[in-house]
Structure 1
Amino acid sequence: MEKKIESNAGDAKSIAGREEQWQGLRRVPDKLPKIALLILAVELGERFTYFGLSGPIQNYINNPYDPSSDLPGALGKGQAVATALGNFFKFWAYASTVIGAIVADQYLGKFKAICCACVIYVIGLVILVSTSTPTALLNNAGLGGLIAAMITIGLGTGGIKANVTPMCAEQYQHSHPVLKTLKSGEEVIVDPELTVQRLFMWFYWVVNIGALSPLITVNVEAHHSFWLAAILISAAVFISGRNKYIRVPPVGSAILDACRTTSIAIKENGFNNARPSVLRATGHNDKYPLASQERFTDEYVGDVQRGLKSCKMFLFFPFYFICWNQMWNNLISQAGTMALHGTPNDLLQNLDPIALCFFIPFLDLIVYPLLRKYRIDFDPVTRIFMGFMFASISMAYACVLQHYIYKSPPNSIHVWIQAPSYILVALSEAFVIITGLELAFTQAPKNLRSVISALFWLTIAVAAAICIALGAVSQDPYLVWMYGATLVTLLLASSASAVLAGKRNAPREAGENKNYLGGSYNDCAARNNQLCTGECAGQPAAGAGAPCYTDCTTRNQ
């Protein structure tokens, strides 16, 4: 049985009376909405295709087309060019998330934007397949076709990536904690924050199921050619649920409004001074046309401020993704200089998604519940810092391994000694990427969720651009220095991010977590007072310990 930890205005006293009771209860996530599975299908298909292409792409560009060679290849452009083009593909795919977000939030909405992106994706796949056949390669159509396909597929990827995660999370509509009695008789708090966290964990689990596609495509490339696609089936599954999805309609001026609000905040020396109630009190509201609009409220200004604050952590993510990018280029080339013993040099990258398919359920079902049981607050900042540390250890391992490769006879070190680098990066992803997605959704204004999500993905594009600039040292004999510099940079970024976000690490009681409506469960009285104006004026305010409400109607239910 369930009962909401909220009441009508007349029960404010009884809420306060139960405060001590529910604050000491264990927090648990809610069940995930089933309709979200259809949205995950398109992400599964897109990731299956994307990683199926990304896996072979280093060999495709690096090695020449030689059917008699153990190493598959097509273009023979060398490691530096292969790494640069691979990073360009990542840069464009993740930079184009900004385009996909703008189209969704301002014009089409997320559902239509995803459908259009799938069409663009398929066009890119057709270009790639038609220019990667042996006949096309022998007629020098391979490089031009690859670049055209990269641009087209990247645009489709951006349209999907920017919108799938927020649309998936939007299918969960509960915003207030509820009390629930388990079969054991234990009373627990069903926490929306934990539910959103769980949703993104399993979203990323699905991503990594799709990322296992190189297990197939590596063997396909070694013996046949470079083609594979699963996007059509997943798109059909996604479209089949079109009448069941919860859709947030686009707001034509959403992005412009956010920019104008930020501009007002800069001119007024802070977001608090940019609130319409303050602008009216100071007589500055006539200076800004937006201030007269009904949609420009104190709550909206607070939402924009919170969204921008969440982006501060994203400033350090490019340094992490520089390490993450090594899996798809330099570590593959490193494996090519080791003793393969029949193992394709780009097979080991599959250890990353395989490890994540184990790590994510282990964290969600065992580790995190155990931490909550003992009231250990493993907050987002701590998770991100932990992930940065695991990635740093991975780069340290790769650096030492590269040193011994240089010191040893050619092809003498077994390729599977490289495995810990991939597993450590996988463990870091379980903390960094999942938490980044969570922050991008929970801290974003409702009508800018795709844009904030795109800003998160944009950090991968920035990292890819930096890797392109490092192309000159992404080859022998500089690889030890390259791995070492990456390690030092990430350690510095880890320390800086921990210092910047130090205030977020204050101890919190159970039930006092930040929810995605903003504010904590224990500091909502002022917010509810502010919301209960107009037709709700004179109604008693919720006391300390009450959940946050989105509007007066909900407040007075």
Structure 2
Amino acid sequence: MSKTNHLTAPDPKETGWPKGVKYIIGNEGCERFSFYGMKSVLQVHMTALFVAGAAHEQLAEEHAQEVVHLFVAGVYAFPMIGAIIADRLLGKYKTILWLSLVYCLGHLVLSLGENTVTGMMMGLGLIAIGSGGIKPCVSAHVGDQFGKANWNLVAKVFQAFYFIINFGSFFATLAIPVIRNWEQQYDFAFSIAFALPGVLMLLATIVFWMGRKVFVHVPANPGGKLGLLDAATSTFLFMGLIGLPMFGMEFLSTTEFLISCAACIGAGLATFFYRQKLQPDDGFIAVSLYSIGAMFSGTNYVARTKAANEEAGSIHRNWFFAAAAERFGTITAEGPRAVIRIVSVFFIVSMFWALFDQHASSWIRQAKQMNLSMWGGWSLLPSQISALNPLMVMALIPINNYLIYPLLSKFVIEMTPLRKMTLGMFMASLAFACVAILQTWIDTAGAKNVHALWQFFPYLVITQAEVMVSITGLEFAYTQAPTRMKSTIMGFWLLFVSVGNKFVAVVTKFQDKMLDWFSTIIGTVVGAERVAQSSELAMFFWLFTSLMFVAAIFFGLRATLYTYKSYSQDE
């Protein structure tokens, strides 16, 4: 008889803090230091590598920027796989532990292979799999530790969670660039700047492992063979529909790419139908595929006819899900419909992430051209300025919750989640207008004649946008999705962060063509001569300012058409 030495459900009588929380919080602090520390020097380091490979400085910066955003895109794409593996096959604890080891291996490869592009790409790939895979699991795992008696502490633990994330980010962004600078000055034999984040990630893994006996281990459902088939189905379909289209064209020929996509989709569908024969499933994929089949077979039309007396908004009269509601039940069919409605909102938000994550790339490129000297004879490093973001986040959250939102709701308009997000997206456009104006000033005054502290203002605006879009977006998703679809929604939320970063990588890769097109359009408004006097980086900022402004308008229109629907915890 097997014996487990851990709980599989929280103690319903426990009123205090769960014993495992301290290990999860400690793990998160170390992991975030690891990730943001490495990321803080990535743009600068990759630029140096490309310059060493005989690339022109500007071209090297653009290549480095493309790599940074492809890496971030990978980090935010892989949560779709991590969530399925955790929920269906291994459980959250094992998923986090094993992928943390992949994460550590990635840091080791970076530290050993930092002087080659190949070594860096291999290390970044492993980190993307590890970091991305555990991303949707950690916050869900901390929530699993709480039962009914201490559920009132959940809000506090997530506040601590968010604080430790920003705490780790702030100190990592200050410390790791300094260490890398010392390496350059004193010609260290090995990379401490990449090794130290790896040590912190190893420490994070050890701290997490230490809590294994006191954690609540919610078992995977269904687990076993069925869980393996579910994970395989999702992985194949993800690679065929998302993974390869986003990243495959970088490495495969067109023929290889098309064959690989078709093979992955075919394998995913074959695995899915085999799994359904063993035991029918009513998850997102099952309901969606059944609905597609019902559309072509006419079953959906028949189901709608039967439900003619239902209310107009009933899912039993829905043009796509009527047959699914008849077969799987109203609540089950409502899940995928809610996901599609929310995804139609999230898709536009991907443009926000295209702008926000540039504080780790193009904003650093701008900072390198600015005066970095400070009082007392010391100087900032370009990568350190982004430490403003986590500090501002911690300050702006209470200011918004207790001052800005109440005042706007009282004197202007009720601040619903989608209105907050719409305003935040316009703020993001304003932030890029600020850096575009700064870049024009730098181009006019000359390099090193504009102080880097002027970036404080765009950082303040983009961080305010982050608070209004990111945090509010999660709130919106969780209130608008049925309980069983919340993990799926989180996966899509993170996926659209990936889409935004992929978009930046594509624009950077084809920057010359994009800027020629944009310059022609802008030239008709402000004059071709004025556009010709602007640097490529300034025009790059103005391009994203305009794209974000247009996206914010479309988002606002979508928000006005969105009908809110609340779901109880049992739905």
Query: What TM-score do you get using the length of structure 2 for normalisation?
Result: 0.68
Tell me how far 1:125 sits from its aligned partner: 1.0
CA RMSD in angstroms comes to 4.1
Alignment of 1:436-451 (within 5 A): 436-451=473-488
Matched, 1:402 2:442: no
Q: Give the direction of change, closer, same or farther, for the CA distance of 1:105–1:354 in structure 2 (3 Å limit).
A: same
Give 1:207's aligned residue: 165
Tell me how far 1:206 sits from its aligned partner: 2.9
Give 2:66's aligned residue: 84
- Secondary structure of residue in 1 paired with 2:382: coil
Is the contact made by 1:200 and 1:438 (CA closer than 8 Å) also made in structure 2? no
CA distance in 1, matches of 2:17, 2:462: 27
Cα deviation, 1:73-124, whole Å, max 9, x if unaligned, reads xx99821121111112112111222221222233112222111211110111
Q: Give the direction of change, closer, same or farther, for the CA distance of 1:338–1:217 in structure 2 (3 Å limit).
A: same
CA distance in 2, matches of 1:38, 1:239: 8
- Consecutive unaligned residues of structure 1, counting only runs of 5 or more, are 1-29, 67-74, 176-189, 285-290, 507-513, 519-547, 552-557
CA distance in 1, matches of 2:437, 2:490: 36
Tell me how far 1:352 sits from its aligned partner: 0.7
Q: Give the direction of change, closer, same or farther, for the CA distance of 1:150–1:205 in structure 2 (3 Å limit).
A: same
Is the contact made by 1:205 and 1:356 (CA closer than 8 Å) also made in structure 2? no
CA distance in 1, matches of 2:504, 2:146: 37
Cα deviation, 1:115-145, whole Å, max 9, x if unaligned, reads 121111011111112223xxxx4xxxx3221
The one of 131, 134, 141 equivalent to 1:157 is: 131
Is the contact made by 2:335 and 2:484 (CA closer than 8 Å) also made in structure 1? no
Tell me how far 1:318 sits from its aligned partner: 1.5
CA distance in 2, matches of 1:438, 1:32: 24
Mean Cα deviation higher: 406-415 or 46-55:
406-415
- Secondary structure of residue in 2 paired with 1:412: coil
Tell me how far 1:465 sits from its aligned partner: 1.4
Is the contact made by 2:346 and 2:493 (CA closer than 8 Å) also made in structure 1? yes
- Secondary structure of residue in 1 paired with 2:450: coil
Mean Cα deviation higher: 35-44 or 100-109:
35-44
Cα deviation, 1:480-506, whole Å, max 9, x if unaligned, reads 221111111111111211211214588
Give 2:118's aligned residue: 144
Counterpart amino acid of residue 231 in structure 1: M
Q: Give the direction of change, closer, same or farther, for the CA distance of 1:436–1:235 in structure 2 (3 Å limit).
A: farther
Is the contact made by 2:324 and 2:333 (CA closer than 8 Å) also made in structure 1? no
Matched, 1:300 2:274: no
Give 2:80's aligned residue: 98
Give 2:255's aligned residue: none
Mean Cα deviation higher: 33-42 or 206-215:
33-42
Give 2:38's aligned residue: 53
Give 2:27's aligned residue: 42
- Consecutive unaligned residues of structure 2, counting only runs of 5 or more, are 1-14, 52-56, 184-190, 235-271, 273-282, 309-315, 317-322, 374-378, 516-533
Q: Give the direction of change, closer, same or farther, for the CA distance of 1:390–1:173 in structure 2 (3 Å limit).
A: farther
Is the contact made by 2:74 and 2:128 (CA closer than 8 Å) also made in structure 1? yes
CA distance in 2, matches of 1:297, 1:167: 29
- Secondary structure of residue in 2 paired with 1:78: helix
Q: Percent identity?
A: 24
Counterpart amino acid of residue 206 in structure 2: A
CA distance in 1, matches of 2:324, 2:359: 51
Is the contact made by 2:79 and 2:494 (CA closer than 8 Å) also made in structure 1? yes
CA distance in 2, matches of 1:333, 1:96: 28
- Secondary structure of residue in 2 paired with 1:437: helix
CA distance in 2, matches of 1:369, 1:32: 32
- Secondary structure of residue in 1 paired with 2:41: helix
Give 1:123's aligned residue: 105
CA distance in 2, matches of 1:415, 1:427: 20
Cα deviation, 1:139-165, whole Å, max 9, x if unaligned, reads xxx322111100001100111112223
Is the contact made by 2:325 and 2:333 (CA closer than 8 Å) also made in structure 1? no
Give 2:205's aligned residue: 235
Matched, 1:333 2:391: no
Is the contact made by 1:90 and 1:461 (CA closer than 8 Å) also made in structure 2? yes
Counterpart amino acid of residue 351 in structure 1: L
Give 1:112's aligned residue: 94
Counterpart amino acid of residue 159 in structure 1: G
CA distance in 2, matches of 1:60, 1:155: 21
Matched, 1:244 2:215: yes
CA distance in 1, matches of 2:470, 2:383: 23
Is the contact made by 2:43 and 2:360 (CA closer than 8 Å) also made in structure 1? yes
Counterpart amino acid of residue 80 in structure 2: V
The one of 173, 178, 182 equivalent to 1:219 is: 178
Tell me how far 1:473 sits from its aligned partner: 3.1
Q: Give the direction of change, closer, same or farther, for the CA distance of 1:168–1:52 in structure 2 (3 Å limit).
A: same
Matched, 1:316 2:348: yes
Is the contact made by 1:275 and 1:298 (CA closer than 8 Å) also made in structure 2? no
Q: Give the direction of change, closer, same or farther, for the CA distance of 1:376–1:469 in structure 2 (3 Å limit).
A: closer
Is the contact made by 1:397 and 1:421 (CA closer than 8 Å) also made in structure 2? yes
Give 2:284's aligned residue: 258
Q: Which has the higher helix share?
A: 2
- Secondary structure of residue in 2 paired with 1:346: helix
CA distance in 2, matches of 1:169, 1:442: 16
- Secondary structure of residue in 2 paired with 1:462: helix
Give 1:531's aligned residue: none
CA distance in 2, matches of 1:115, 1:55: 25
Give 2:537's aligned residue: 479
Matched, 1:388 2:388: no
Query: What TM-score do you get using the length of structure 1 for normalisation?
Result: 0.69
Cα deviation, 1:301-335, whole Å, max 9, x if unaligned, reads 11222222222211012210111122011110111
CA distance in 2, matches of 1:480, 1:364: 34
Is the contact made by 1:201 and 1:434 (CA closer than 8 Å) also made in structure 2? no
Give 1:181's aligned residue: none
Cα deviation, 1:452-486, whole Å, max 9, x if unaligned, reads 21211111221221111122439993122211111
Is the contact made by 1:86 and 1:329 (CA closer than 8 Å) also made in structure 2? yes
- Secondary structure of residue in 2 paired with 1:411: coil
Is the contact made by 1:128 and 1:145 (CA closer than 8 Å) also made in structure 2? yes
Tell me how far 1:200 sits from its aligned partner: 5.6
Counterpart amino acid of residue 54 in structure 1: K
Matched, 1:550 2:570: yes
Counterpart amino acid of residue 107 in structure 1: L
Counterpart amino acid of residue 88 in structure 1: L
CA distance in 2, matches of 1:157, 1:494: 30
- Secondary structure of residue in 2 paired with 1:339: coil
Is the contact made by 1:107 and 1:250 (CA closer than 8 Å) also made in structure 2? yes
Count of aligned positions: 445
Q: Give the direction of change, closer, same or farther, for the CA distance of 1:299–1:172 in structure 2 (3 Å limit).
A: farther
Cα deviation, 1:357-408, whole Å, max 9, x if unaligned, reads 2222444566567889999843221221122122111101011111111111
Matched, 1:378 2:415: yes
Mean Cα deviation higher: 474-483 or 341-350:
474-483
Give 1:458's aligned residue: 495
The one of 461, 467, 473 equivalent to 1:430 is: 467
Cα deviation, 1:8-65, whole Å, max 9, x if unaligned, reads xxxxxxxxxxxxxxxxxxxxxx999885554343333222111100101111121369
- Secondary structure of residue in 2 paired with 1:387: helix
- Secondary structure of residue in 2 paired with 1:247: coil
Is the contact made by 1:32 and 1:199 (CA closer than 8 Å) also made in structure 2? no
The one of 549, 559, 570 equivalent to 1:501 is: 559
CA distance in 2, matches of 1:275, 1:76: 58
CA distance in 1, matches of 2:155, 2:357: 25
Query: Relative contact order (alpha carbons < 8 A, sep ≥ 6): 1 or 2 greater?
Result: 1
Counterpart amino acid of residue 217 in structure 1: I
Mean Cα deviation higher: 410-419 or 362-371:
362-371
Counterpart amino acid of residue 39 in structure 1: I
CA distance in 2, matches of 1:323, 1:462: 12
Tell me how far 1:172 sits from its aligned partner: 5.4
CA distance in 1, matches of 2:206, 2:328: 39
- Secondary structure of residue in 2 paired with 1:410: coil
